[in-house]
Structure 1
Amino acid sequence: MVEQSELNRLFWQSRRGMLELDVLLVPFVKEVYPQLDEEDQRRYRKLLCCEDQDMFGWFMERAVPDDEDLRCIVRMILDRVQPK
């Protein structure tokens, strides 16, 4: 179980100041992150260490992360918002 203090910290780290990222990351951390397994939570925290411009390119599907962990979490976030 994720502690509330960790969720609060991740919430603020997920607010990037770029609307395109905020609309993806903030709802994800609030609604999905607490149910993720430990490995996917680690991937999400790793994603938050990345540069905003890199994340923007990945989420707009203009580029793909080199790192497998980052590819996995980016895909998970995109799958959540893209129509099937």
Structure 2
Amino acid sequence: MDEATLLKKLRWRCRRGMRELDQLFERYLDREWAGAPTEEREVFLFLLECEDDRLWRWFMGYEECPHAEPAALIARIRALPA
């Protein structure tokens, strides 16, 4: 699959049930995805598979993600300027 098609599919998957999560995921996709190493891309794909309520708790800091790699990426995504 070419990069443009993949990006369109990912953009669709970034659409969550919460606007805040949509914005966080799309911000990463727009600013970081293209230059991200394969390992980081896999972690992002893992996050896209998680349930919205769990993601919300992780991104808002109500709960800590139990996995080190996703927790680090969540912190990076949260730090991206709006």
Aligned to 1:44: 44
- Is the aligned partner of 1:55 residue 2:55? yes
1:2-81 to 2 correspondence within 5 Å?
3-81=3-81
Q: Return 5+ residue gaps in structure 2 as ranges.
A: none
* RMSD, aligned α-carbons: 1.6
Shift of 1:6: 1.0
Shift of 1:17: 2.8
Shift of 1:78: 1.1
Shift of 1:34: 1.0
TM-score by length of 1: 0.86
Percent identity reads 27
8 Å Cα contact 1:11-1:30 kept in structure 2: no
Specify the SS of the correspondent of 2:80: helix
Counterpart amino acid of 2:47?
Answer: L
Aligned residues: 81
Q: Return 5+ residue gaps in structure 1 as ranges.
A: none
User: What CA deviation, in whole Å up to 9, does each residue of 1:49-84 have, x standing for no partner?
Assistant: 0000011011111111111121121111012138xx
